[in-house]
Amino acid sequence: MTDVPRPSPDLLVDADRALVRTVDQLSDSQYAEPSQLPGWSRAHVVAHLALNAEALAGVLHGAHLGQPRPMYASPEARDSDIEALAAADPGEVRERFLASQGQFRQALEAMTEGDWDGRFERTPGGPSFGLANVAPMRLREVEVHHADLGAGYTAADWPEGFRRLLLDSMAKRPFPAPFGVRATDLDGTWHLGRAGDQRGDQRDGAVAPVVTGTSSDLGWWLTGRGAGQGLTTDADQLPEVHPW
């Protein structure tokens, strides 16, 4: 992941509040129902959001103390912890999630300006990322997985500030081939899959395709969700994207 601008604090505060309202309104039976993510129930999504908040809070706390720490002990530990929490009683999942929200918020508010200069690893020995990425990372987790819950909140509810940030961050990810996305509601074009030509609009002399649609439909598709509903392209088919 490449560095992206820090979001407005209000974006994350508002996203957290909206997510808490949705999670708090889920009945116990709804936790076992399928989410929008293949193979994951709503309990899996809420468990992941809780553990991600705890992990990022740990990263921030370590940075504040001058003791860098990774998000997760290993990919396997991360996955097994999600499975274990998702299998718990819905009340326990809910309480763990609510507590994690406060834990992350406290760690974020404790950071001083000098604390943001370091880097952290997702798992020990893996790629490192700038600490400035923590806030946009958490915002993406909250907004995208809120929609993944399939509990009334959708990509169409994403605020404009988040939709811009999401497209900015997706434009920094690798893709199999370059293409552009044009957001009809944001009056902008983003170039993705840059290879060779830094504009990202050509490859081997050929003009790359452009995908057009609303920023919410584009963001949903770019994160590997749906089949590109609401989008059009000037090519024969939509470019290949991978799950986020």
pLDDT (tens digit per residue) in 182-195: 999 998 899 998 64
Q: Is residue 226 part of a domain?
A: yes
How far apart CA 15 and CA 193 sit, in angstroms, is 29
With cut-offs at 50, 70 and 90, classify the pLDDT of residue 154: very high
CA 12 from centre of chain: 12
Q: Is residue 76 part of a domain?
A: yes
Q: Is residue 124 part of a domain?
A: yes
Structural domain tally of the chain? 2
Q: Is residue 1 part of a domain?
A: no
With cut-offs at 50, 70 and 90, classify the pLDDT of residue 203: very low
Q: Is residue 241 part of a domain?
A: no
Q: Is the pLDDT of residue 128 over 70?
A: yes
- Structural domain including 192 reads 167-233
pLDDT tens readout for residues 2-36: 556 667 779 999 999 999 999 999 999 999 999 99
pLDDT at 207: 75
- DSSP, res 36: S
Same domain, 141 and 181: no
Summarize the confidence of residues 54-81 as an average pLDDT: 97
Q: Looking at the whole model, is its pTM more than 0.85?
A: yes
- 30 by DSSP, 3-state: which? helix
Which of 92, 125, 153 lies at the terminal end of a domain, its last residue? 153
How far apart CA 93 and CA 47 sit, in angstroms, is 6
When mean pLDDT is compared across 63-72, 79-88, 91-100, 204-213, the lowest value belongs to: 204-213
Same domain, 188 and 109: no
Summarize the confidence of residues 121-147 as an average pLDDT: 95
